[in-house]
Structure 1
Amino acid sequence: MKEPIFLGTNSWPDFLLSSEPNEWVQDPLGKDFQHQTLDFGTDAEGPAVATLVRYRPTGWRNRLGRKAQGVVLSIHGWSDYFYNPELATFWHHHGYHFYALDLRHHGRSLRTEHELPGYVDDLATYDEELNASMEILRAAHPGLPVVAQGHSTGGLVLSLWLARAKPDIKALVLNSPWLEFQGTAFLRIPMHGLMEAITRTNPRRKLSGPEFDHYWMSLSDQAHGQWDVHRVWRPRIAFPNTAGWLKTIFDGHAQVAKGLKLQLPIFVMTSDRTHIGTTYSPDMQHCDSVLDVQQTRLRSLKLGSFVTLCEVPGAMHDVFTSAEPARAAAYRDLHLWLRMVGSTR
């Protein structure tokens, strides 16, 4: 695969302005990317907006037209946003229109009023932007199948949305999905009860605890990684955890543990091993330093009846940000799986 294009996020603003309704505007990621604001009024944090990004390369030679095989809707993880142009070009090269959604209170959707970045007290809140994005995709590309793609917390959000709303999605691609709390239900269950108790009195209460920057160090080109990530949208220290947010994560994990019974092909990609520590280690460039991959694969089998597990040797938590040759292997395996399940017209 080609190396990612670094586009200088240091020159980007901390907060974007909202676009006019239904208006696509130039995205700072580059000339081939545009975005539009999805406005849902206000919530406890202030402006309730999400941002839909599309990849639309210029030039008639790059137009898919009748060659289009489908449409992709990609969702980021916690304390994250869409920043990977290589991922968009991969899907486009294989005949898919590519869209990515920055969820409310994340990335391009952050606003100065948001005191608690990333905060929601119910993952079903995201149904608004997911459903609105699907309407836009359907209107722009009628008749084409839609593939949903989610990373980490985004994988949990998508899985629960599919089980709850049952949108017309033909296939689900999960990149290191966060399906269980740090690898064990034995810890989640008592923690869930504690978060429920705190949430009844103060759901916005910040939870104190150790702060680690080792994943950022393995990712950012300002440290040991290869990726130019925004200082506010993908911060060195992740967004603060709150009782209400963590409770809704635990609610989602409990639903997955019971089984979601999804009726579509699911592709789950993880690294081949885990290295979780309190300080950065060079080994974290070649393994998952965030989640227990064994537990992720085990929980993935609770998603539905057609689950394919893909182990990518040497991959990081986000397999599509891994150093070569792991990143190329991840794209190769995804392409092979798409051909196998025939998630096209």
Structure 2
Amino acid sequence: MSEPIGQHWKQVNEREDLLGADFVARTFSFPGPKTQVHTTLINHVGRPRTTKAILYVHGYTDYFFQTGLAEHFIKLGYRFYAVDLQGYGRSIRPSTPPNWCDSIDQYGQDLDIALATMRQDGVKKIVMLAHSTGGLVISNYLAQPYALSERESHYNKAFPEVVGVMLNSPFLALPFPPALLNRIHWPIRAIVSIFPFMVLRARKIIIYAKTLHTVFGGEWDYRLDWKPAKGFGLSFHWLREIILAQRTLANQKIDIPTLLCRSEISTIGKKTVEETQKGDGVLNVDSMDAAAEKTFTNLEKAIIPEGFHDLYLSKQPARELYLSAMTNWLKALK
């Protein structure tokens, strides 16, 4: 165990990660909204002298397990880090419900810890890569009214410079077409505000999960206790906080160079795995586009035909297009 590296957190362990000898996991403990919580920073051991890195942030009901993604960036000359946010994956603890969220802002502490630790490791410049809700988390973090330099001063720690953002199907808008979203946004917000402690639980396996996991004929073998096929219960409180964060973000401007990667079409509501696999089965890509254009002033897009919601988990042709899009964008990044 190490001494505290900031005013509010301390590292409690460091060990070889469950992904194998190429990965190290460091766990940090810090005060959460209600009790002590944990966050886990995972890093690939490759490129130890390189000063530029990728920081990956997962989505909702998710954790980092995509070893091939890490290896792709290592080959490009980057170090690779990923964070399992408090209440997710490696950071789940009995004292707090999985995925519980008092406010999107709470994940700023996880990101502060990740950035401060990466800087201690010698990283000077980073590109943030985030999927789904992780895209909203990092966008909210970067759009805070006080600068990252002020956060550094608060913790008396140096952070790497964030030189780019890559968004993998970010959850910047609710999963409805733009015209419908404009009509139902306020009713949904009213409902979740009136019943904040209601939790919806899926009775059946989510069809998107059937497109992914090997037990259903998919390609990926991840932990179903951390990324369950029925999902964790959907908290109305969580949904209210998502809506508030999306509304706030829509009124902010982020000028960091940003690449939005998304599927060509949405396949929400499709009845079969085959139909769902033709596009994003979770979010509406048109509303995602519109929301990104409101906030990001230095935005490029990569449209991936037949890309899944998590583009890296798509079938190989779409996955390769996604990786190529990020590779080309990074090469052009100054």
What is the TM-score with the length of structure 1 in the denominator? Answer: 0.84
Which residues of 2 match residues 185-196 of structure 1 at below 5 A?
A: 185-196=182-193
Counterpart of 2:311 (choices 293, 313, 319) is 319
34, 38, 43: which one aligns with 1:54: 43
Distance 1:304 1:43, change over 3 A: closer
Aligned to 2:104: 123
Matching residue of 1:110? 92
Q: Shift in Å at residue 205 of structure 1?
A: 3.1
Once residues 261 and 105 of structure 1 are traced to their aligned partners in structure 2, the CA distance between those partners, rounded to angstroms, is 29
Percent identical: 27
AA matched with 2:14: W
Letter in 2 for 1:198: F
| Cα distance change of structure 1 residues 42 and 179 upon mapping to structure 2, 3 Å threshold | closer
Residue in 2 that maps onto 1:136: 117
1:131-150, CA deviations, whole angstroms, 9 ceiling, x for partnerless residues? Answer: 111100111124x2111111
For 1:163, the aligned partner's letter is: A
Inter-partner Cα distance in structure 2 for 1:127 and 1:42: 11
| Secondary structure in 1 matching 2:199 | coil
Contact 1:121 1:247 survives alignment (8 Å): no
Runs of 5+ in structure 2 lacking a partner?
A: 1-9, 149-160
Change (3 A) 1:221 1:212: closer
C-alpha distance 64-41 of structure 1, shift in aligned 2 (>3 A): closer
Residue number in structure 1 paired with 2:138: 158
1:148 equivalent in alignment to 2:141: no
Q: In the alignment, what sits opposite 1:34?
A: 24
The CA distance in 1 between the partners of 2:36 and 2:70, in whole Å, is 28
Structure 1: 5+ residue runs without aligned partners?
Answer: 1-19, 58-62
Q: Does 1:89 align with 2:71?
A: yes
Q: Runs in 1 of length 4+ with deviation above 6 angstroms?
A: none
Q: CA RMSD in A?
A: 1.9
Structure 1 position 212, deviation (Å): 4.9
The 2-side partners of 1:98 and 1:42 are apart by 26
Q: Is the 8 A contact 1:155 1:175 kept in 2?
A: yes
Partners of 1:280 and 1:110 lie apart in 2 by: 32
Note the C-alpha offset of 1:87: 0.6
Cα drift, residue 49 of structure 1 = 0.7
The answer to whether the aligner puts 1:73 opposite 2:55 as a matched pair is: yes
User: Scaled by the length of structure 2, what TM-score is found?
Assistant: 0.87
Maintained 8 Å contact 1:274/1:288 = yes
Which of 150, 162, 166 aligns to 1:169? It is 162
Distance 1:231 1:151 in 2: 19
- Give 1:277 deviation, angstroms: 1.7
CA displacement at 1:297 relative to structure 2: 1.3
What is the DSSP-based 3-state SS (H/G/I as helix, E as strand, rest coil) of the residue aligned with 1:301? Answer: helix
| 1:220-235 matches, cutoff 5 A | 220-235=213-228
Amino acid at match of 1:249: I
Asked if structure 2 preserves the Cα contact closer than 8 Å seen for 1:64 and 1:95, the reply is no
Q: Deviations over 1:56-77 (max 9, x none)?
A: 14xxxxx453xx3611111000
Contact 2:202–2:233 under 8 Å retained in 1 = no
Number of residue pairs matched by the alignment: 308
Higher strand share: 2
CA separation in 2, counterparts of 1:41 and 1:237? 30
Q: Secondary structure at the match of 1:247?
A: helix
SS in structure 1 of the partner of residue 65 of structure 2:
coil
What secondary structure is seen at the aligned counterpart in 2 of 1:182?
Answer: coil
Q: Report Cα offsets for 1:276-300 as digits up to 9, x if no partner.
A: 1264321222311101112111211
Q: Secondary structure at the match of 2:113?
A: helix
Which of residues 287, 291, 315 is equivalent to 1:295? Answer: 287
